[in-house]
Structure 1
Amino acid sequence: MALITASSCLKPQSSSISLKTNLKTNSELGFVTSQLSGLKISYDQCVAPINISTTINLPVQPVARRICPFTGKKSNTKNLVSHSNHKTKKLQFVNLQYKRVWWEAGKRYVKLRLSTKALKTIEKNGLDAVAKKAGIDLSKK
Protein backbone atom coordinates (compact mmCIF):
# COMPACT_ATOMS: atom_id res chain seq x y z
CA MET A 1 0.00 0.00 0.00
CA ALA A 2 1.44 3.40 -1.01
CA LEU A 3 1.55 6.25 1.50
CA ILE A 4 1.73 9.86 0.32
CA THR A 5 2.24 12.52 2.98
CA ALA A 6 1.90 16.25 2.32
CA SER A 7 3.35 18.48 5.02
CA SER A 8 3.69 21.87 3.33
CA CYS A 9 1.04 24.45 4.21
CA LEU A 10 -0.11 26.08 0.95
CA LYS A 11 -3.69 27.12 1.72
CA PRO A 12 -4.53 27.17 5.42
CA GLN A 13 -8.30 27.56 4.95
CA SER A 14 -8.87 24.48 2.74
CA SER A 15 -8.59 20.94 4.01
CA SER A 16 -10.42 19.06 1.29
CA ILE A 17 -9.00 16.31 -0.90
CA SER A 18 -10.63 15.54 -4.24
CA LEU A 19 -10.10 12.17 -5.91
CA LYS A 20 -11.68 10.97 -9.12
CA THR A 21 -12.10 7.42 -7.79
CA ASN A 22 -14.69 6.09 -5.34
CA LEU A 23 -13.47 7.12 -1.83
CA LYS A 24 -14.21 6.47 1.83
CA THR A 25 -13.21 9.21 4.29
CA ASN A 26 -12.28 8.48 7.88
CA SER A 27 -12.02 11.80 9.76
CA GLU A 28 -10.95 10.22 13.06
CA LEU A 29 -7.77 8.70 11.62
CA GLY A 30 -7.02 11.52 9.18
CA PHE A 31 -6.57 9.62 5.88
CA VAL A 32 -8.49 8.81 2.73
CA THR A 33 -8.57 5.31 1.23
CA SER A 34 -9.26 4.56 -2.41
CA GLN A 35 -11.25 1.39 -3.05
CA LEU A 36 -9.78 0.81 -6.52
CA SER A 37 -6.03 1.14 -6.07
CA GLY A 38 -5.53 0.90 -2.29
CA LEU A 39 -3.94 4.37 -2.22
CA LYS A 40 -3.71 5.90 1.24
CA ILE A 41 -3.15 9.66 1.53
CA SER A 42 -2.29 11.19 4.89
CA TYR A 43 -3.07 14.88 5.27
CA ASP A 44 -2.82 17.75 7.76
CA GLN A 45 -5.38 20.50 8.31
CA CYS A 46 -3.37 23.04 6.23
CA VAL A 47 -2.78 21.01 3.05
CA ALA A 48 -3.95 22.17 -0.37
CA PRO A 49 -6.37 19.97 -2.33
CA ILE A 50 -4.70 17.07 -4.13
CA ASN A 51 -6.09 16.02 -7.49
CA ILE A 52 -5.26 12.46 -8.51
CA SER A 53 -6.50 11.23 -11.85
CA THR A 54 -5.58 8.18 -13.85
CA THR A 55 -6.06 8.62 -17.57
CA ILE A 56 -4.50 6.31 -20.11
CA ASN A 57 -4.08 7.78 -23.57
CA LEU A 58 -3.47 5.06 -26.13
CA PRO A 59 -2.22 6.16 -29.54
CA VAL A 60 -5.05 5.79 -32.02
CA GLN A 61 -3.86 5.40 -35.57
CA PRO A 62 -6.19 5.06 -38.51
CA VAL A 63 -6.02 1.76 -40.32
CA ALA A 64 -5.60 2.04 -44.08
CA ARG A 65 -7.99 -0.62 -45.31
CA ARG A 66 -7.64 -2.06 -48.78
CA ILE A 67 -11.10 -0.95 -49.87
CA CYS A 68 -11.86 1.71 -52.46
CA PRO A 69 -14.18 4.32 -50.88
CA PHE A 70 -15.73 5.29 -54.24
CA THR A 71 -16.53 1.89 -55.75
CA GLY A 72 -16.53 -0.33 -52.66
CA LYS A 73 -14.11 -2.80 -54.27
CA LYS A 74 -12.25 -5.01 -51.81
CA SER A 75 -9.95 -8.03 -51.88
CA ASN A 76 -10.99 -11.31 -53.44
CA THR A 77 -9.97 -14.80 -52.34
CA LYS A 78 -8.72 -17.22 -54.96
CA ASN A 79 -7.26 -20.70 -54.99
CA LEU A 80 -3.75 -21.41 -56.18
CA VAL A 81 -4.02 -24.88 -57.69
CA SER A 82 -0.83 -26.92 -57.95
CA HIS A 83 -0.07 -29.74 -60.40
CA SER A 84 -1.24 -32.27 -57.78
CA ASN A 85 -4.52 -30.33 -57.48
CA HIS A 86 -3.55 -29.01 -54.00
CA LYS A 87 -5.47 -25.78 -53.36
CA THR A 88 -3.98 -22.89 -51.38
CA LYS A 89 -5.93 -19.71 -50.52
CA LYS A 90 -4.56 -16.39 -51.80
CA LEU A 91 -5.86 -12.83 -51.69
CA GLN A 92 -6.20 -10.68 -54.80
CA PHE A 93 -5.98 -7.09 -53.64
CA VAL A 94 -7.56 -4.07 -55.29
CA ASN A 95 -5.25 -1.86 -57.34
CA LEU A 96 -5.36 1.16 -54.99
CA GLN A 97 -3.39 4.28 -55.88
CA TYR A 98 -2.74 7.59 -54.12
CA LYS A 99 -3.78 10.28 -56.57
CA ARG A 100 -4.17 14.05 -56.52
CA VAL A 101 -7.39 14.87 -58.34
CA TRP A 102 -8.49 18.40 -59.27
CA TRP A 103 -11.80 19.25 -57.60
CA GLU A 104 -13.50 21.90 -59.71
CA ALA A 105 -16.14 22.96 -57.17
CA GLY A 106 -13.54 23.47 -54.42
CA LYS A 107 -10.94 24.99 -56.79
CA ARG A 108 -8.17 22.82 -55.35
CA TYR A 109 -6.51 19.43 -55.52
CA VAL A 110 -7.79 16.60 -53.33
CA LYS A 111 -5.47 13.72 -52.42
CA LEU A 112 -7.40 10.45 -52.59
CA ARG A 113 -6.65 6.75 -52.28
CA LEU A 114 -8.78 5.12 -54.92
CA SER A 115 -8.82 2.16 -57.27
CA THR A 116 -7.91 2.48 -60.92
CA LYS A 117 -11.49 1.59 -61.83
CA ALA A 118 -12.72 4.54 -59.73
CA LEU A 119 -10.17 6.79 -61.44
CA LYS A 120 -11.58 5.85 -64.85
CA THR A 121 -15.11 6.47 -63.54
CA ILE A 122 -14.07 9.92 -62.23
CA GLU A 123 -12.58 10.80 -65.63
CA LYS A 124 -15.84 9.79 -67.31
CA ASN A 125 -18.48 11.22 -64.92
CA GLY A 126 -16.62 13.86 -62.88
CA LEU A 127 -15.41 13.92 -59.28
CA ASP A 128 -18.52 15.61 -57.83
CA ALA A 129 -20.95 13.06 -59.32
CA VAL A 130 -18.92 10.03 -58.20
CA ALA A 131 -18.35 11.43 -54.68
CA LYS A 132 -22.04 12.29 -54.31
CA LYS A 133 -23.08 8.79 -55.39
CA ALA A 134 -20.60 7.21 -52.93
CA GLY A 135 -21.63 9.58 -50.11
CA ILE A 136 -18.18 11.12 -49.66
CA ASP A 137 -17.77 14.72 -48.46
CA LEU A 138 -14.76 16.18 -50.27
CA SER A 139 -14.67 19.40 -48.21
CA LYS A 140 -13.20 17.52 -45.21
CA LYS A 141 -10.14 16.25 -47.10
Structure 2
Amino acid sequence: MATLATLGSISVLRFQKPVPPKTRPSSQLLGFVTSQLSGVKISYDIPDVAPIKPISAPFTPAVRPLARRVCPFTGKKANKANKVSFSNHKTKKLQFVNLQYKKVWWEAGKRYVKLRLSTKALKTIEKNGLDAVAKKAGIDLRKE
Protein backbone atom coordinates (compact mmCIF):
# COMPACT_ATOMS: atom_id res chain seq x y z
CA MET A 1 0.00 0.00 0.00
CA ALA A 2 2.75 2.47 0.90
CA THR A 3 6.15 2.78 -0.73
CA LEU A 4 9.09 4.81 0.54
CA ALA A 5 11.24 6.43 -2.14
CA THR A 6 14.24 8.70 -1.71
CA LEU A 7 14.84 11.58 -4.08
CA GLY A 8 18.26 12.96 -3.22
CA SER A 9 18.03 14.13 0.37
CA ILE A 10 14.19 14.12 0.50
CA SER A 11 12.30 11.01 1.51
CA VAL A 12 8.90 10.70 -0.16
CA LEU A 13 6.22 8.35 1.10
CA ARG A 14 3.68 7.53 -1.65
CA PHE A 15 0.31 5.98 -0.93
CA GLN A 16 -1.81 4.04 -3.35
CA LYS A 17 -5.49 4.69 -2.73
CA PRO A 18 -5.91 2.93 0.64
CA VAL A 19 -9.06 1.12 1.61
CA PRO A 20 -9.97 2.59 4.99
CA PRO A 21 -10.99 0.19 7.72
CA LYS A 22 -14.54 0.37 9.01
CA THR A 23 -13.45 1.64 12.44
CA ARG A 24 -11.34 4.67 11.37
CA PRO A 25 -12.06 7.24 8.65
CA SER A 26 -9.27 7.89 6.14
CA SER A 27 -8.65 11.42 7.45
CA GLN A 28 -7.78 10.05 10.91
CA LEU A 29 -5.51 7.42 9.37
CA LEU A 30 -3.60 9.99 7.33
CA GLY A 31 -3.30 12.28 10.36
CA PHE A 32 -1.79 9.44 12.38
CA VAL A 33 0.78 8.68 9.67
CA THR A 34 1.87 12.33 9.37
CA SER A 35 2.33 12.69 13.11
CA GLN A 36 4.49 9.53 13.30
CA LEU A 37 6.69 10.43 10.34
CA SER A 38 7.75 13.99 11.04
CA GLY A 39 10.12 15.48 8.45
CA VAL A 40 8.98 13.09 5.69
CA LYS A 41 7.13 14.54 2.70
CA ILE A 42 3.87 12.68 2.04
CA SER A 43 2.14 12.67 -1.34
CA TYR A 44 -1.22 11.11 -2.06
CA ASP A 45 -2.44 10.13 -5.53
CA ILE A 46 -5.87 11.73 -5.92
CA PRO A 47 -7.77 11.00 -9.13
CA ASP A 48 -8.83 13.97 -11.24
CA VAL A 49 -12.11 15.26 -9.87
CA ALA A 50 -14.41 17.75 -11.58
CA PRO A 51 -13.98 21.27 -10.18
CA ILE A 52 -16.39 22.21 -7.43
CA LYS A 53 -19.01 24.72 -8.50
CA PRO A 54 -19.71 27.64 -6.19
CA ILE A 55 -22.87 27.42 -4.14
CA SER A 56 -23.94 31.03 -4.65
CA ALA A 57 -25.68 32.05 -7.86
CA PRO A 58 -24.90 35.25 -9.78
CA PHE A 59 -26.72 38.30 -8.43
CA THR A 60 -29.98 39.11 -10.16
CA PRO A 61 -32.06 42.00 -8.85
CA ALA A 62 -35.52 41.07 -7.59
CA VAL A 63 -37.19 44.16 -9.05
CA ARG A 64 -36.37 45.24 -12.58
CA PRO A 65 -37.06 48.76 -13.79
CA LEU A 66 -40.12 48.71 -16.01
CA ALA A 67 -40.22 52.14 -17.61
CA ARG A 68 -36.98 53.46 -19.06
CA ARG A 69 -36.74 56.86 -20.66
CA VAL A 70 -36.33 55.37 -24.13
CA CYS A 71 -38.90 55.36 -26.91
CA PRO A 72 -39.50 51.75 -28.03
CA PHE A 73 -40.51 52.79 -31.55
CA THR A 74 -37.75 55.24 -32.49
CA GLY A 75 -35.04 54.25 -29.98
CA LYS A 76 -34.62 57.87 -28.87
CA LYS A 77 -33.00 58.29 -25.46
CA ALA A 78 -31.57 61.04 -23.24
CA ASN A 79 -28.95 63.39 -24.69
CA LYS A 80 -26.01 64.71 -22.67
CA ALA A 81 -25.65 68.46 -22.99
CA ASN A 82 -24.15 71.49 -21.28
CA LYS A 83 -26.25 73.94 -19.33
CA VAL A 84 -24.56 77.29 -20.06
CA SER A 85 -25.06 80.12 -17.59
CA PHE A 86 -24.81 83.88 -18.29
CA SER A 87 -21.18 83.80 -17.10
CA ASN A 88 -20.54 81.00 -19.64
CA HIS A 89 -20.12 78.43 -16.83
CA LYS A 90 -20.93 74.98 -18.26
CA THR A 91 -22.70 72.31 -16.21
CA LYS A 92 -23.57 68.83 -17.49
CA LYS A 93 -27.28 68.03 -17.85
CA LEU A 94 -29.52 65.47 -19.51
CA GLN A 95 -32.10 66.34 -22.13
CA PHE A 96 -34.77 63.66 -21.83
CA VAL A 97 -37.04 62.44 -24.61
CA ASN A 98 -40.57 63.84 -24.68
CA LEU A 99 -42.34 60.58 -23.79
CA GLN A 100 -46.13 60.51 -23.57
CA TYR A 101 -48.68 57.87 -22.60
CA LYS A 102 -51.12 57.69 -25.49
CA LYS A 103 -53.98 55.43 -26.54
CA VAL A 104 -53.61 54.80 -30.26
CA TRP A 105 -56.22 53.07 -32.43
CA TRP A 106 -54.87 49.79 -33.82
CA GLU A 107 -56.77 49.03 -37.02
CA ALA A 108 -55.69 45.38 -37.38
CA GLY A 109 -56.65 44.55 -33.79
CA LYS A 110 -59.81 46.69 -33.86
CA ARG A 111 -58.99 48.23 -30.46
CA TYR A 112 -57.04 50.95 -28.72
CA VAL A 113 -53.49 50.19 -27.60
CA LYS A 114 -52.01 52.17 -24.72
CA LEU A 115 -48.39 53.05 -25.53
CA ARG A 116 -45.59 55.13 -24.03
CA LEU A 117 -43.96 56.77 -27.01
CA SER A 118 -42.12 59.91 -27.99
CA THR A 119 -43.86 62.76 -29.79
CA LYS A 120 -41.64 62.09 -32.79
CA ALA A 121 -42.92 58.47 -32.88
CA LEU A 122 -46.49 59.77 -32.62
CA LYS A 123 -45.97 61.93 -35.73
CA THR A 124 -44.42 58.94 -37.54
CA ILE A 125 -47.40 56.73 -36.59
CA GLU A 126 -49.82 59.35 -37.92
CA LYS A 127 -47.89 59.45 -41.19
CA ASN A 128 -47.10 55.73 -41.81
CA GLY A 129 -49.61 53.85 -39.63
CA LEU A 130 -49.20 51.92 -36.39
CA ASP A 131 -48.66 48.49 -38.00
CA ALA A 132 -45.82 49.68 -40.26
CA VAL A 133 -43.98 51.52 -37.46
CA ALA A 134 -44.39 48.62 -34.99
CA LYS A 135 -43.18 46.10 -37.57
CA LYS A 136 -40.11 48.20 -38.36
CA ALA A 137 -39.32 48.54 -34.62
CA GLY A 138 -39.93 44.81 -34.02
CA ILE A 139 -42.75 45.36 -31.52
CA ASP A 140 -45.58 42.83 -31.19
CA LEU A 141 -48.77 44.77 -30.44
CA ARG A 142 -50.78 41.65 -29.57
CA LYS A 143 -48.98 41.30 -26.22
CA GLU A 144 -49.71 44.84 -25.05
Length-normalised TM-score, structure 1: 0.56
- Paired residue secondary structure (1:67): coil
What is the identity, as a one-letter code, of the residue corresponding to 2:105?
Answer: W
Q: 2:135 aligns with which of 126, 132, 136?
A: 132
- Cα distance in 2 for residues equivalent to 1:118 and 1:138: 15
Report the alpha carbon displacement of residue 63 of structure 1 after superposing the two structures with TM: 2.6
Report the alpha carbon displacement of residue 81 of structure 1 after superposing the two structures with TM: 1.6
What is the identity, as a one-letter code, of the residue corresponding to 2:125?
Answer: I
Partner of 2:106: 103
Report Cα offsets for 1:84-128 as digits up to 9, x if no partner.
322100111100000000100011110000000000000000000
User: Can you give the 5+ residue segments of structure 2 that lack an aligned partner in the other structure?
Assistant: 1-60
- Cα distance in 2 for residues equivalent to 1:77 and 1:114: 20
Length-normalised TM-score, structure 2: 0.55
- Cα distance in 1 for residues equivalent to 2:64 and 2:79: 25
- Paired residue secondary structure (2:133): helix
Partner of 1:80: 83
Partner of 1:12: none
Write the mapping of 1:58-73 to structure 2, written as runs, cut at 5 A.
Answer: 60-73=63-76
Partner of 2:39: none
Partner of 1:115: 118
Structure with greater contact order relative to length (CA < 8 Å, sep ≥ 6):
1
* Identical pairs, percent: 85
- Paired residue secondary structure (1:117): helix
RMSD value, Cα: 1.4
- Cα distance in 2 for residues equivalent to 1:116 and 1:81: 26
- Paired residue secondary structure (2:122): helix
The aligned length equals 84
User: Can you give the 5+ residue segments of structure 1 that lack an aligned partner in the other structure?
Assistant: 1-57
- Cα distance in 2 for residues equivalent to 1:62 and 1:111: 19
- Cα distance in 2 for residues equivalent to 1:77 and 1:85: 17
Higher helix proportion: 2
What is the identity, as a one-letter code, of the residue corresponding to 1:75?
Answer: A
Report Cα offsets for 1:28-79 as digits up to 9, x if no partner.
xxxxxxxxxxxxxxxxxxxxxxxxxxxxxx8535431000000000011110
State the 4+ residue runs in structure 1 displaced beyond 4 angstroms.
Answer: none
